[in-house]
Amino acid sequence: MVRVRELFADYCGDFQKLRQFFRYDPHDLSNAVSELRGTQQRRFNEDQLNEIKLYNKRMDCSDETLKNIDRLGKDGTLAVVTGQQPGIFTGPLYTIYKTLTAIKLARHITERFGVSAVPVFWNASEDHDFEEVRHVEFINRDNRVISLLYEPQADVEGKSIFDIPLEPPLTFLIDLMAGDTNESEFKPFLLNLLRNSISRCYSLADWFSTLMQALFNPYGLIILDAHLPPCRQLARPVIGREIKIPIRSSRLINEAGAQLRALGYHQQIERRPDDVNFFFYAQGRRNKVRFKQGKFLVERIGLEYDQTEMLDMLAEEPQRFSPSAVLRPLVQDHILPTVAYVGGPGEISYFAQMRNAYSFFDLVMPIVYPRCRVVLVEARIAKILERYGLHADDARKSRRELLGIVTQERGSRPIVQACDRKLEVMQLLLDEFRREVHEVDPTLVDPVDKLKRKIGYEMDKLREKLVQSEQDDAEVAEQQVDKLKAHLFPEGKEQERVFNVFPYLFSYGIELIAVLEKALDIGSFNKQIIHV
């Protein structure tokens, strides 16, 4: 991720270095809005809009979401889009942050430019990388990072997430999370939400959408599942162009990657010369497709089709075709009147290779807007930071370096050495006093010797206690450092890429979403520290 950060840092802080790879500067919304308003026409017909409404209603959306779907059906409405593979429990925290960024950005565009803009979350349910979405991490009551893994009994290899069922092991994960997190007045409600929503959903993708609507209910968020018939139908022109002129998009992606490398950046996407940027459903699996010797070869099952056969199937059965990660934003922006896509550092590196691909598909590349990046600091962690004069970003330092800072902050405490010195002085004084007593009366030196032994004994006991006290302080410092790193930089990774939101909701209630919505500054591309 180091080289990705370099590109992301330049994108946010020195955009001119990357100007050739993007159409719009994320710092200047007015240019994109003025160009795109009035040019984005409705693509959904009434039946398709009704299907989108029914889907969002099934996920218990708000009336505001339904109004936004109506707006989406009108000419001139713009969409602020974000998206993610549907992970269990909604996945990592950054899913929450990118959604809130999209919500606030849509509102900002509406208020500032007087144009209707709606937030849309693209549920990438066609993705088949189950390993990526099957786990959830959180910090438990003992300040340890816990990872839970969903292990369904069904055969899920090669299956899209919309086809992965919800089985009893998932309910067991809820119980494990409940048992390993602190109790609060909010926890019962949220546990009921998790359990009841599972009982109403068929697939992992549906559960994700249901939870997202529950969390963002007041904000009018539209959720589009990539598996919905309207999305499959409207994706046909993009998939069709990929069939008619295969591997061109892969070539354009690689050419942009080479240009990035020449400028010292990392090439985020690398396509093979025969890579086709869509998948084909057969035998219940999402299968990779390659183009060789004039034929489309469906990997794993050995099927092959010519161009005419592929186009005929696309016309008759669009549900058998699924865009790759490369083609997905192009499909999104063909279907939706997108003014901005909200993405993280990795996604922005993807988009850096896609401008010419947009042109190839006769699409306008939208603003690629950096999502808010956040570190949540709870009160108990804030106290540790304050005690040792640390900043949240200090958690990125090594354990050894942090311990050095903490030890220095505690100050040098050579009390044991001082104890030894004082004892030595007292013993010298007593020796001198003994000599003086001996000169006066040799029979009186015995009490002086007893006093010396008594003082030595008591000082030894005091020394042991001082040593133990310093050891205890050192152990406390180590525990505090370990706690800081576990909470703020778990497993050597960004907090937002590891932890899930629900344990935080257990502690602070679903109102935490509103707190975050208010606190996030979407105009800042710097990391934000939010105290909860």
How far is Cα 198 from Cα 203, in angstroms, rounded to an integer? 9
Element (H, E) at 376: strand 374-377
Residue at 522: amino acid letter: I
CATH for the stretch 2-237+320-373+507-531: 3.40.50.620
How far is Cα 363 from Cα 354, in angstroms, rounded to an integer? 11
How far is Cα 145 from Cα 498, in angstroms, rounded to an integer? 9
Give the pLDDT mean for 141-156: 94
pLDDT in tens, 58-74: 999 999 999 999 999 88
| Token code pair at residue 4 | 């990705």
| Token code pair at residue 402 | 């942090």
Element (H, E) at 368: strand 367-370
How far is Cα 493 from Cα 485, in angstroms, rounded to an integer? 10
CA 80, distance to chain mean position in Å, is 19
> Residue 465 pLDDT more than 80?
no
Give the pLDDT mean for 4-26: 91
Task: Considering only the C-alpha atoms of the chain, give the largest distance between any 2 of them, rounded to a whole number of Å.
Answer: 123
| Token code pair at residue 157 | 């290899």
pTM across the whole model: 0.88
Residue 501 CB-density burial (10 A; 0-12 exposed, 13-18 middle, 19+ buried): buried
| Token code pair at residue 469 | 């006290």
| Token code pair at residue 152 | 């369904």
Share the mean pLDDT of the chain.
91
Give the pLDDT mean for 380-404: 90
Bridge partners (DSSP) of residue 224 are 122
How far is Cα 3 from Cα 224, in angstroms, rounded to an integer? 32
How far is Cα 212 from Cα 44, in angstroms, rounded to an integer? 23
* pLDDT confidence of residue 212: 98
Q: Sort strands 222-225 and 145-149 into parallel, antiparallel or unpaired.
A: unpaired
| Token code pair at residue 320 | 């058998």
Residues 6+ apart with CB under 8 A from 429: none
Q: Which of 51, 100, 90 is nearest to 197 (CA)?
A: 90
pLDDT in tens, 233-257: 999 999 999 999 999 999 999 999 9
Of 283 and 467, the one with more pLDDT: 283
Give the pLDDT mean for 78-105: 97
How far is Cα 504 from Cα 377, in angstroms, rounded to an integer? 11
- Asked if residue 81 lies in contact with residue 98, where contact means CB atoms within 8 angstroms, the answer is no
How far is Cα 6 from Cα 367, in angstroms, rounded to an integer? 20
Give the pLDDT mean for 64-93: 95
How far is Cα 117 from Cα 98, in angstroms, rounded to an integer? 16
Query: What phi-psi label fits residue 274: left (phi over 0), alpha (psi between -120 and 50 degrees) or beta?
Result: alpha
Residue at 301: amino acid letter: I
